[in-house]
Structure 1
Amino acid sequence: MTPRPSALLDDQDAAHLALAPIRRRILAALAEPASAAGLAERLGMPRQKIGYHLRALETAGLVRPAGERRKRGFTEKLFVAAGAFVLDPALLQAPPDPDAVDAQDRHASGHLIAAASAMVRDVARMRDVAAAEGSRLLTLTVEADVSFAEPADFDAFSDELAEAVATLARRYAAPSGRRFRLIAAGHPAVKRPTPVKN
């Protein structure tokens, strides 16, 4: 089965639609293509009510048609939900301070969150455009765990990483090439529970 694309929720109304309990049940049930009648039977709800919510979800771009099938002499329209929903972090943030200086402190957690939020929004939108064009969005993700014995080691690592990235950026700076945005970020690792040995 072809992987289902994700949907970026960058509109307040669409986010409310997706988060409403009854519609969350419908979206979860549409992991596989289904008709309004099939959903009504599965969720124990009137078909008319399911149809109403399906129309709202389709208008908002949260479900899409997935073909048709014949059943008991009738043609049923099938729907499928997005594979995942990405909530645009900007919907939950206060408007940026126009007097703030961008990236004034590379160690500020607020700047990391703002950069990560912008990346989530931009990549989700570009992926949707690429999917509509039938192409693949070229991206890069590098992850690593590091540890520091002393606070000064963190500062030294930050300086070395910044210099290494700057050196690479200068090497790959073709004036007519396609621009890419590189974000190097670090945060304390989340502690994972220790597996219990039998």
Structure 2
Amino acid sequence: MTARPSALLDTLDAAHLALAPIRRRILAALVEPASAAGLAEQLDMPRQKIGYHLRALEDAGLVQLAGERKKRGFTERLFVAAERYVLDPALLQAAPPDPDAIEAQDRHAVDHLVSTASAMVRDVARMREAAAAQGARLLTLTVEADVAFATPADFDAFSNDVAEAVAVLARKYAAPSGRRYRLTAAAHPAVARPAPTRN
């Protein structure tokens, strides 16, 4: 079994476990399956201490059993961690957002974009874990493009064009039954990227 590509930290307990320095070292080492004894040797730590932290990480679902193997007359359990962890943005909010207030916001409001992006991170991460547990594929779509606007009026016109295009697609793909999908179109200022180096 290979490492899970990502895992969601959606409780404060899980976040605290993953952020503790010793456990962060263990999680980083478990991108490839390893046993408590192997980790103890790799991290130069007592096996008993590694075992204690491994049990806590396993109970929290931050590592999973990757298999077992016979070694010197006993059975070793091999564990694997996710390659990366996604922190549920809702954990950092003082209170959950009011859905009615969010719907009433202007579509250009930064808070609306942040709230929508946070919900997407949480929901997709949870669905991905559920699909992986069932051995199923999670169908998603990501479309990205860079655009540039000479004036604020151009941005407003582009926003209207996108809204109209999405509305047309939503009407076209509105089957009375079947799996529902959430389409989110968002735009924000592009972050400057370093130019690629040439050999």
Q: Structure 1-normalised TM-score?
A: 0.94
CA shift digits 1:75-120 (9 cap, x unpaired)? 2111111222111000011214547252521101110010000011
**Counterpart check, 1:79 vs 2:79:** yes
Report the Cα offset of residue 178 of structure 1: 1.8
Conserved 8 A contact 1:103-1:111: no
Aligned residue-pair number: 198
Structure 1 unaligned regions, length at least 5: none
Question: Which residue of structure 1 aligns with residue 193 of structure 2?
Answer: 192
- C-alpha RMSD of matched pairs (Å): 1.7
Measure, in 1, the Cα distance between the counterparts of 2:119 and 2:185: 14
Residues 185 and 21 (structure 1), Cα distance of their counterparts in 2 relative to 1, 3 Å cut: same
Give the conservation status (yes or no) of the 8 Å contact 2:7–2:85. yes
Q: Is the contact made by 1:9 and 1:86 (CA closer than 8 Å) also made in structure 2?
A: yes
Residue in 1 aligned with 2:120?
119
Q: CA deviation at 1:151?
A: 1.3
SS at match of 1:102: helix
Contact conserved, 2:69 with 2:75, CA < 8 A, in 1? yes
Counterparts of 1:94 and 1:3, CA distance in 2? 33
CA contact (8 A) 2:3 2:31 kept: no
1:12 matches 2:26: no
Aligned letter for 1:158? S
Shift of 1:194: 3.1
- On the 8 A contact 2:8/2:88 being kept in 1, the answer is yes
CA distance in structure 2 between the aligned counterparts of 1:101 and 1:41, rounded to whole angstroms: 51
Would you say 1:67 and 2:41 are equivalent positions? no
Give the deviation of 1:41 after TM superposition: 0.6
Task: Report the 3-state secondary structure (helix = DSSP H, G, I; strand = E; otherwise coil) of the residue aligned with 1:158.
Answer: helix
Return 74-83 or 112-121, whichever deviates more.
Answer: 74-83
Give the letter aligned to residue 159 of structure 1.
N
Contact 2:90 2:96 survives alignment (8 Å): no
Q: Is the 8 A contact 1:31 1:81 kept in 2?
A: yes
Q: Secondary structure at the match of 2:94?
A: coil
Equivalent residue letter for 2:156: D
SS across alignment from 1:112: helix
> Match of 1:73, as an amino acid?
G
Aligned to 1:174: 175
Percent same amino acid at aligned positions? 79
Q: Aligned partners of 2:188, 2:143: CA distance in 1, in Å? A: 14
Aligned to 1:100, what secondary structure does the other structure show?
helix
| Structure-to-structure mapping, 1:144-159, within 5 angstroms | 144-159=145-160
Question: Retained in 1: the 8 A contact 2:88–2:118?
Answer: yes
After superposition, the Cα gap between the structure-2 partners of 1:57 and 1:3, relative to the gap in structure 1 and judged at 3 Å, is closer
State the match for 1:43 in structure 2: 43
1:71 Cα offset (Å): 2.5
The runs of 5 or more residues in structure 2 that have no matched partner are none
Greater than 4 Å deviation, 4+ residue runs: 195-198
Moved more, 123-132 or 92-101: 92-101
User: Which residue matches 2:105?
Assistant: 104
Alignment partners' CA distance in 2, 1:111 and 1:9: 22
Q: Does 1:52 align with 2:47?
A: no
Name the residue aligned to 1:88. Answer: 88
Deviation at 1:177, TM superposition (A): 2.5
